[in-house]
Amino acid sequence: MPAVTQFPEIEAVNSLDVFLPVPRVAAVLDPGFRPAVLARRTFALNARVPVRLAIEQADGSVFHQSTAILPAGHPHAAVNTFFVERLVKFLLWSRGGWRIWVDGPAELAGSLRRHYSEDATGRFDSEIIGERIYDRPIQIELARELPPAKSSTAPLGRHLHGCRIGFDLGGSDRKVAAVRNGEVVFSEETVWDPYFQADPQYHIDGIQDSLRKAAAHLPSVDAIGGSAAGVYVNNRVKVASLFRGVSKELFNSRVKDLFLELRRAWGGIPFDVVNDGEVTALAGSMSLGENAVLGLSMGTSTAGGYVTPEGTITSWLNELAFTPFDYSPAARRDEWSGDFGCGVQCFSQQAVGMLLAPAGIPADAEMPLPEKLKHVQQLMANEDPRARMIYETIGTYLGYGIAHLADFHTVRHVLVLGRVTSGIGGDIILSKAREVFHTEFPELAGQIALHMPDEKEKRHGQAIAAASLPIIP
């Protein structure tokens, strides 16, 4: 096992392998895959010292989570920080927050404090989640009394009357639709390359181009709703991978209020933008007529969203691209955060690109991810067994990933979509995920239904859901 740079105390002992069981359904192209759900459950069987956590958001929302660690004299106690940090990272990126209250050993709180101030991956989390989303760095507080749990929910979308435009901004394409009283009268998908564009005018021009084309098919435009990868609060951009190439100065001066600027350009009509994962979950809830829906979009990155059993959304981040799903320190590392085993390595075009070599499929290293995916899709259409192994591996990731998420969400339906799921490969992904359920988690097989929209629903469902976001007075 290679060195775990953000947890140097593990290097001196051979303890972590004890708590990383081999999955019963192997990831065919990734034999070292060690699912978070199995590792966490195995560790819990041995942990005896209770630890309580509270994650606090800027609006005062507080989320509680209980766990346990090994006693100080345990021969494998060196892994305690590893397991608690992985849990905290999951909570930070799925729930969101800036202050972490720890009711547990002082040395555990100290280790976490050092992680977020000294380790590269911890500093990334502190900068992106803490400073850029909640306007303050992550803080660790040792406490015997936690602040009381507090959360809020709100309805989302489902407004279909009037003439509306819905758009979705992805890393390799942008989609737009004109919707009139719930019926799509025009839709278009345009290839673009926003990730490393230094001038935000590129993004503004692209979005405006799509909006104008949709508007040409409506007698008037009453409202505009959109979804995009990233975190958006009151239509302001907090952090988004679409603008990774923009300097901090330009981000603050041009990007943060980009959608407010667009709203003004469209006469101040109702204009709402939210995370694309939330719209994915909303689209699933609307199309199924059901709640307790988890949405997972496998595109250039990974987006997640959640509709509660009551049909509302929460203040959670649901940024599943950065949540850990593979606990093996040998897992692939994310190019942005530098961390290992995160969702983006399991459920995105990045996962497809990384699995090409293990599958024995040659590809130019400089080939863009969308082109690599198209190549794999063409091979799959020709029944190439190498391409099938890529989709089977991603399906294995998905099955164990949903089981992990189900430990923290009340889920009855999971809607899976995104460009990675297009074509035959999508069916293979879901089939393998269901195999994981039946083999490893039979209790989930009867509790959670997996869905993948047809091609029409993929094109129109997300657009209709996005268009339904604004309320027309």
Residues above pLDDT 70, as percent of the chain: 96
Average pLDDT score, the chain = 93
Distance CA 326, CA 30 (A): 11
What is the pLDDT confidence band of residue 458, given thresholds at 50, 70 and 90?
low
Q: Which of 279, 271, 273, 270 is nearest to 472 (CA)?
A: 270
Q: Can you tell me the mean pLDDT for 33-54? A: 97
Mean pLDDT, residues 445-470: 85
pLDDT tens digit sequence for 152-166: 888 989 999 999 999
Q: DSSP readout, 150-185?
A: B--EE-------SEEEEEEE-SSEEEEEEEETTEEE
Contact between 423 and 151 (Cβ < 8 Å): no
**Can you say how many angstroms the Cα of residue 15 is from the centroid of all Cα atoms in its chain?**
30
Q: What is the reported pLDDT for 380?
A: 98
Does residue 11 surpass a pLDDT of 60? no
What is the greatest pairwise CA distance in the chain?
A: 73
Domains in the chain, ordered, with CATH? 21-142 (no CATH), 154-275 (3.30.420.40), 279-463 (3.30.420.40)
pLDDT above 70 for 464 = yes
What integer pLDDT is reported at residue 277 of this predicted model?
86
In whole angstroms, what is the distance from residue 324 CA to residue 86 CA?
7
At residue 358, the pLDDT reads 98
Mean pLDDT of 67-86: 95
Report pLDDT digits (tens) over 174-187: 999 999 999 999 99
Q: What pLDDT shows up at residue 10?
A: 47
Q: What is the mean pLDDT of residues 408-436?
A: 95
- pLDDT given for residue 462 in this prediction: 80
Kindly report, residue by residue over 276-309, the tens digit of the pLDDT.
889 989 999 998 999 999 999 998 889 899 999 9
Mean pLDDT, range 119-141, rounded to an integer: 95
Percent of the chain with pLDDT over 90: 81
Q: Compute CA 38 distance to the chain's CA centroid, rounded to the nearest angstrom.
A: 20
Averaged pLDDT for residues 190-212 = 95
Nearest to 309 by CA among 215, 219, 409: 409
**pLDDT reading at 168 higher than 80:** yes
Give the pTM.
0.90
Please say if the pLDDT value at position 317 is more than 70: yes
Q: What is the mean pLDDT of residues 37-50?
A: 96
Which position has the higher pLDDT, 241 or 269? 269
Q: What is the pLDDT of residue 461?
A: 78
Of the ranges 85-89, 270-274, 332-336, which one carries the lowest mean pLDDT score? 332-336
3-state DSSP percent of the chain in helix, strand and coil, to 5: 40, 20, 35
pLDDT surpassing 70 at residue 459: no
User: Alpha carbon of 273 to those of 26, 84, 110, 228, 464: distances in Å?
Assistant: 39, 34, 39, 7, 13
**pLDDT number for residue 195:** 85
**Candidate from 5-14, 55-64, 137-146 with smallest mean pLDDT:** 5-14
Q: What is the pLDDT of residue 14?
A: 64
Assign 4 a pLDDT band (cuts: 50, 70, 90).
very low
pLDDT the model gives residue 285 = 93
How large is the average pLDDT for residues 49-66? 95
Which pLDDT tens digit goes with each residue over 217-267? 999 999 999 999 888 988 999 988 899 899 999 999 999 999 999 999 999
Could you give the 3-state DSSP secondary structure of residue 46?
helix
pLDDT at 31: 97
pLDDT of residue 94: 94
Is residue 126 within 8 Å of 88, Cβ to Cβ?
A: no
Phi and psi at residue 56, to the nearest 5° = -110, 135
Give the confidence band of 411 by pLDDT, cuts at 50, 70, 90. very high
Output the pLDDT for position 6. Answer: 54
- Given this model, what pLDDT does residue 9 score? 47
